[in-house]
Amino acid sequence: MADANREAHAAAFRAIAAHRSEHGLRDTVQRRQIVEVVLQAPAHATLEELIARTRALHPRVGATTVHRTVALLVACGVLVKRRFGDHCARYELARPIAHDHLLCRGCGRVEECPPALAADSAERARTLGFTVVAHECVLYGYCAACAPPPDGAGDP
Amino acid sequence: MADANREAHAAAFRAIAAHRSEHGLRDTVQRRQIVEVVLQAPAHATLEELIARTRALHPRVGATTVHRTVALLVACGVLVKRRFGDHCARYELARPIAHDHLLCRGCGRVEECPPALAADSAERARTLGFTVVAHECVLYGYCAACAPPPDGAGDP
DNA sequence: ATAATTGCAAAGGTTTTGCACATTG
DNA sequence: CAATGTGCAAAACCTTTGCAATTAT
């Protein structure tokens, strides 16, 4: 797992470097510090959390810079921005293998589940003249630890 | 299609009436006007749009009331609240048959596609000890009218 | 009458922007 | 040294809330 992690981080650094040279961006202290934090942060962290973690290690980094750097990381494909039910966006490292999300209405936790849907859905969409390049699927329900569903409920 | 529409609207009115009597809510002019607008509005409208449409027909209705009434309609299962990439929520009439969404990165339009994913994904989740009560799936890509995907792209 | 509803204005929370200063290449 | 990046404060944005006046039951 340490190896896989190291490989994922190396890939991230490669993507960042490529994006930087392609867009004439600069290699700054803050960006290196923020990237360091982002690569270590738990999946589905909010910007608030990423800012807090960054400032815990590097107090002089401004919140705005974290915002802007996270946006850069999304632009170069290292981070994926997601919106679950919340008011605020959440971020996770882009994975080569797609996965879906299980959102527990009991405890609110977001878990991940293996990709069961990509192939099916891409094919279905293609018959509609739509070329799928990515997908995002959230399943709402109750995890093993939480109470079973009450009764009839709407969609999300 | 007119019949299906009429039936859907009748179902909505039934759900609203049931929810009203169950919660001791009142039947006000504004709520009737807002419901009228919501039932006619295109799918995936934002609150901004619903407010504009309401005020076009009924200038004296306040924005706050639209907010609150839409929340009521979500609570009683008539509307479904969704969040795509946007910053703001979008609303659509709840359908008895689930469907997924195709989000075109070319023109930004949101189309709907038949449910190809629900059964598969619910079963997969169940093996993980998760009880699924709803799902929401967005496929990103390019519709027939828009340019094909450029090349390698991140997840969403 | 009593309790719910309305709508304005104000507050709340997240994300974006303007701009002077510092830093990179 | 020219262009980019930083960070503070302020603005913009969507959403929620307090409250007096209005309305439904």
Contacts B74 to A, Cβ<8 Å: 154
Q: Which nucleotide is nearest to B28 (CA to C1')?
A: D24
Q: Which residues share a beta bridge with A79?
A: A93
In this predicted structure, what is the pLDDT of residue B152? 44
Between residue 85 and residue 124 of chain B, the positions with Cβ below 7 Å from nucleic chain C are: 87
> Any idea which residue has 């929520």 for tokens?
B89
Contact across the interface for B120 and A122, Cβ inside 8 Å: no
In this predicted structure, what is the pLDDT of residue B143? 86
Contact across the interface for B132 and A141, Cβ inside 8 Å: yes
B interface test, pick of A44, A137, A142, A143 with most B CB neighbours within 10 Å: A137
In this predicted structure, what is the pLDDT of residue B100? 82
Strand D, nucleotides covered by protein (CB < 7 Å): 3-9, 13-18, 23-25
Contact across the interface for B137 and A142, Cβ inside 8 Å: no
Instruction: Give one DSSP letter per residue of A67-97, joined into a string.
Output: HHHHHHHHHTTSEEEE--SSSS-EEEE--SS
For the stretch A57-92, pLDDT in tens is 999 999 999 999 999 999 999 999 998 877 889 999
A interface test, pick of B22, B80, B132, B139 with most A CB neighbours within 10 Å: B139
Contact across the interface for A114 and B124, Cβ inside 8 Å: yes
Least confident of A12-26, A88-102, A142-156, B80-94: A142-156
Between residue 30 and residue 59 of chain B, the positions with Cβ below 7 Å from nucleic chain C are: 30-31
The CA–C1' separation of A9 and D8, in angstroms, is 32
DSSP tag of A104: E
Going from the N-terminus, what domains does chain A have, and what CATH number goes with each?
A: 3-93 (1.10.10.10), 97-156 (3.30.1490.190)
For the stretch B99-154, pLDDT in tens is 888 888 878 788 888 766 555 666 777 788 888 887 788 888 888 888 665 444 44
The CA–C1' separation of A76 and D1, in angstroms, is 29
For the stretch A23-54, pLDDT in tens is 999 999 999 999 999 999 999 999 999 999 99
Q: Which nucleotide is nearest to B33 (CA to C1')?
A: C6
Residue A15: which pLDDT band, with cuts at 50, 70 and 90?
Answer: very high
Are the C-beta atoms of B156 and A140 separated by less than 8 Å?
no
The CA–C1' separation of B48 and D11, in angstroms, is 20
In this predicted structure, what is the pLDDT of residue B154? 42
Helix (H, G, I), strand (E, B) or coil at A44: coil
Least confident of A83-87, B73-77, B93-97: A83-87
> Any idea which residue has 């006007």 for tokens?
B33
In this predicted structure, what is the pLDDT of residue B118? 53
Are the C-beta atoms of A137 and B117 separated by less than 8 Å?
yes
Q: Which nucleotide is nearest to A26 (CA to C1')?
A: C24
Which residue did the predictor score with more confidence, B122 or B79? B79
Quick one: which of A121, A59, A116, A49 has its CA closest to A86? A49
Instruction: Give one DSSP letter per residue of B33-96, joined into a string.
Output: HHHHHHHHSPTTEEHHHHHHHHHHH-TT--HHHHHHHHHHHHHTTSEEEE--SSSS-EEEE--S
The CA–C1' separation of B21 and C15, in angstroms, is 40
Contact across the interface for B111 and A134, Cβ inside 8 Å: no
**pTM metric for this prediction:** 0.82
